[in-house]
Amino acid sequence: MKQANKQKSAKYEGIRYKELSNGDICYYARFTKDGKQRELKIGTKSKGWSEKKAYQKKAELEKDDGDGGNQNTKFKEVIDRFLEIKKLRLREKSFIEYQGILKDFGALENKTISSITQSDINSIIIELSKKLKPSTINMRIAILKQILKFSELEFGAKVRNFKEIKNIKSDNKRERFLTKEEILLLKESVKNDYDNLLFVNLALSTGARLVTILNIKKKDIDLENRAIALRDFKNSSYYKGFINDESANLILKRWGDLNDNDSIIKKNKYTLQAHISAVLNRLFNQDKPDNKHKVVIHSLRHTFASHLAIQGVSIQIIQKLLNHRDITMTMRYSHLMPNSGKDYVMNLWS
């Protein structure tokens, strides 16, 4: 039986394969080394090789040395290629958000991958800690790890001590929530900006996260029943929320100008986030409280749940309204409930 000609891999550049007379598949890698084009037989499918593994081997073969990878590959080259591929897989809105996140790594742009040190990364983390909460910084670290892993696979360029990049300690249990008086003060401060006021009202009426609220469209709202379909991007699910009369009346002001697929809030995430954060800082954070007591946008979700608990709403209903998958996340509000068991204990032996 005549062997087939080599075929190019549709997914992995520089990888070729051909079917052998015995039905097995053999993989080859074309790569440049010392300025010369080379092709090397990598192995067969029966021996555990695949296009992906052959591509990874190709990256190793292209390295200039056994440790640092391609010395001349710059971080910016990797970022550009990384974004090029991400653009094919992400929606436009998510892609723009990704671009914004990657600006946090600007200090690395002109460095070669192999010259990036733990000290460089620590410096970035320290700068991020001045403006972001620990959990958000850890998300940035995870993205940086993705990029560096991509660099190794795509360019054969490797950061030394890559596994030493560690997350920072994160405590998401914020204790601060707004009082009713503070809520009135906040609404008064944003009353002249429609989008800001609508966001604050929706956050306090639904308890939804920032991204969820910004993705609410006209078609998601049932004004008659004061119900709203919410998308939870964190849990990749949809759930039902409710809007009070104040929020409904605000929505009605723009209702006639909206098509079904139009977002009810026009500002983009970064603009609205900046505006609301500035107001919260001016009103509540002048004394520079620690992270647990600092009022941030997410505090509005915490305020929504806390006041439900204070009114005696059951933990199960609060869990449903917050779309918590695990009730242990909701239990943090149980101590605020007016009857958390104290009355039963006081009368137990009466």
Span 73-105, pLDDT tens digits: 889 989 998 888 888 888 887 788 888 888 899
Length of the chain: 350
Mean pLDDT of 211-231: 96
* Per-residue confidence (pLDDT) for residue 86, from 0 to 100: 85
* Per-residue confidence (pLDDT) for residue 199, from 0 to 100: 98
Mean pLDDT of 267-281: 94
**pLDDT per position as a tens digit, 156-187:** 877 766 666 777 776 656 668 999 999 999 99
Mean pLDDT of 118-139: 84
* Per-residue confidence (pLDDT) for residue 68, from 0 to 100: 44
More confident residue, 134 or 281: 281
Is pLDDT above 90 for 264? yes
d(CA 311, CA 65): 66
Helix, coil or strand: residue 25: strand
Is pLDDT above 60 for 65? no
- The chain-wide mean pLDDT, for the chain, equals 86
* Per-residue confidence (pLDDT) for residue 95, from 0 to 100: 83
Mean pLDDT of 19-34: 84
d(CA 4, CA 279): 68
* Per-residue confidence (pLDDT) for residue 292, from 0 to 100: 73
Is pLDDT above 60 for 67? no
d(CA 339, CA 216): 35
> Cβ distance 319 to 330 under 8 Å?
yes
User: Poorest-confidence range of 69-73, 88-92, 240-244, 345-349?
Assistant: 345-349
Mean pLDDT of 189-210: 97
List the domains of the chain with CATH numbers. 7-60 (no CATH), 75-164 (1.10.150), 180-336 (1.10.443.10)
Bridge partners (DSSP) of residue 263 are 217
> Cβ distance 300 to 182 under 8 Å?
no
Reported as half-sphere exposure (CB side, CA atoms, 13 A), residue 167 has a value of 12
Helix, coil or strand: residue 329: helix
> Cβ distance 12 to 29 under 8 Å?
no
More confident residue, 158 or 47: 47
347 pLDDT band, cuts 50/70/90, is low
Of 206, 205, 214, nearest to 276 by C-alpha is: 214
* Per-residue confidence (pLDDT) for residue 337, from 0 to 100: 76
Ranked by mean pLDDT, the top range of 207-216, 281-290, 308-317 is: 207-216
63 pLDDT band, cuts 50/70/90, is low
Q: Which helix (H) or strand (E) holds 228?
A: strand 227-232
Reported as half-sphere exposure (CB side, CA atoms, 13 A), residue 215 has a value of 14
More confident residue, 294 or 250: 250
Helix axes 269-284, 180-190, angle to 10 degrees: 130
Q: Work out the percent of the chain whose per-residue pLDDT is above 90.
A: 40
d(CA 341, CA 92): 50
Reported as half-sphere exposure (CB side, CA atoms, 13 A), residue 263 has a value of 15
Is pLDDT above 60 for 2? no
**Which burial class, exposed, middle or buried, applies to 21 when counting CB atoms under 10 A from its CB (0-12, 13-18, 19+)?**
exposed
The two three-digit tokens of residue 257, written as one number: 């100008």
Label the pairing between strands 25-33 and 15-19: antiparallel
* Per-residue confidence (pLDDT) for residue 258, from 0 to 100: 96
Place of tokens 């949809």: 238
Mean pLDDT of 330-348: 69
* Per-residue confidence (pLDDT) for residue 308, from 0 to 100: 92
d(CA 109, CA 326): 40
1 pLDDT band, cuts 50/70/90, is very low
* Per-residue confidence (pLDDT) for residue 237, from 0 to 100: 92
d(CA 32, CA 91): 35
* Per-residue confidence (pLDDT) for residue 36, from 0 to 100: 67
251 pLDDT band, cuts 50/70/90, is very high
The two three-digit tokens of residue 187, written as one number: 């609404």
* Per-residue confidence (pLDDT) for residue 288, from 0 to 100: 74
d(CA 130, CA 161): 25
| 333 Cβ contact list (under 8 Å, min separation 6) | 305, 306, 308, 309, 315, 318
* Per-residue confidence (pLDDT) for residue 346, from 0 to 100: 56
Bridge partners (DSSP) of residue 26 are 18, 44
User: Poorest-confidence range of 113-127, 263-277, 327-341?
Assistant: 327-341
Helix, coil or strand: residue 42: strand
More confident residue, 236 or 187: 187
